[in-house]
Amino acid sequence: MRQERNYEAIQELLQETSYSIRLLCEVAGTNRGAYYKWLQRKDTKEDQWNKTLVKAIKRLYKKLDGTFGYRRMTAELKRKYKCPINKKRIYRLMDKINLKAVIRRKAKQYKTSKPEHIAANILNRDFKAHCPNEKWVTDVTEFKYGEGKKAYLSAILDLHEKRIVRYNLTRANNNELVFKNLNEALETLSEDEHPLIHTDRGVQYTSYGFNRIIESAGLHHSMSRPGKCIDNGPMEAFWGNLKCEKYYLHKHEYQTFQQLAKAIEEYIYFYNYERLQLANGGYTPMEY
């Protein structure tokens, strides 16, 4: 693999510069005869398949703003070509053409609050659900737009198929945002569905108002332990995906609340209906 990269680099430099083959081979530490032999070789079926995959990888990487690493890239290519593709092959090819997923930013540290109502950590990091509407997780996250303006997104995620059940975006981070989102999600349930809902210890979730809605709907409330954001891991992971794959890449474009809202709406639709989930066996949440 290393020598092949050297040969390709020599070939590119010969087209772009006036350096001699002898000099370039000496700099690359490779044999000139081996380079000529490499030039005259014919592509094997394996080489042709790799070239096809590289072209597809580059198109997907550009289309998805560089947000997919080799694992998700493998899932997309398996679906596209309808054949087995080893993730190690995609890793090698992406490494060869120097393509890597964009790096996520570190999450902010948890800020403690004085709770009016608390609940035990019933979920206890058991993030598997046997059917839809068995376990929900929820949280609120912050976005900035325009000149120092802020917006807040409340979302509820179903742990069975990893779909976003309901979401609301407002300019104010208050109880009304969380209560409205929960009430809209409850309207999607049948009479015999009473999911466990897990939250962190934010002021909205420890309020008497939130607890009244929970009790009235016959839901069980689970809370993360103080300072343990991993207890709400799937929700934190979704925020990471949303911000890494959409928000941070186009942050400068969001000058108005409407522009930000449209981008979030587009991403959540993409997430539910088009984004393949490895945990779902390569299906989107709605397909699963």
Beta strand 164-170 with 135-145 is unpaired
Residues 145 and 270 reside in one and the same domain: yes
Q: Is the pLDDT of residue 124 over 90?
A: yes
Which range of residues forms the domain containing residue 229?
135-280
16/92 same-domain check: yes
Check whether residue 249 and residue 150 sit in a common domain: yes
Chain centroid to CA 247: how far? 11
Q: What is the average pLDDT across 122-134?
A: 95
CB 246 within 8 A of CB 263: yes
The structure tokens 């290519």 sit at 77
- Strand spans (E) along 77-163: 135-145, 149-158
Which amino acid makes up residue 33? G
Dihedral of CA atoms 158, 159, 162, 165 in degrees, nearest 10, equals 0
Whether residue 166 is contained in a domain is answered as yes
Say if residue 272 is in the same domain as residue 148: yes
Residue 156 has pLDDT above 90, yes or no: yes
The predicted-structure confidence for 254-280, as pLDDT tens digits, reads as follows 999 999 999 999 999 999 999 998 888
The C-alpha atoms of residue 79 and residue 3 are separated, in whole angstroms, by 32
* pLDDT value of position 42: 75
Strands of the 220-223 sheet, one edge to the other? 164-170, 149-158, 135-145, 196-199, 220-223
Q: According to the model, what pLDDT value does residue 224 have?
A: 95
Distance, in Å, from the CA atom of 46 to the CA atom of 190, rounded to the nearest integer, reads 53
Check whether residue 90 and residue 140 sit in a common domain. no
Question: pLDDT at position 260, please?
Answer: 97
Structure tokens at 218: 């016959």
Give the C-alpha separation, 77 to 81, whole Å: 6
In angstroms, the CA 127 to CA 36 distance is 56
Residue 124 Cα distances to 159, 196, 231, angstroms: 13, 12, 7
For 217, the token pair is: 């709907």
At 148, which CATH number? 3.30.420.10
168 and 270 belong to one structural domain: yes
Quote the number of domains for the chain. Answer: 2
90 and 143 assigned to the same domain = no
The angle subtended at Cα 50 by Cα 48 and Cα 53, nearest 5°, is 110
Which long-range contacts (C-beta less than 8 Å, at least 24 apart) are formed by 29-35?
A: 30/3, 30/6, 34/3, 35/7, 35/10
Contact 124, 224 (CB under 8 A): no
> What is the residue type of 9?
A
Phi-psi region of 160 (alpha: psi -120 to 50; beta: other; left: phi over 0): alpha
Same domain, 87 and 169: no
Say yes or no: 78 and 179 in one domain. Answer: no
140 and 274 inside one domain: yes
171 with 235, same domain: the answer is yes
Pairing verdict, β 149-158 and 135-145 = antiparallel
40, pLDDT greater than 90: no
User: Residue 111: what pLDDT?
Assistant: 57
270 shares a domain with 172: yes
Mean pLDDT over residues 23-31, rounded?
82
Residue 168 pairs in a beta bridge with: 154
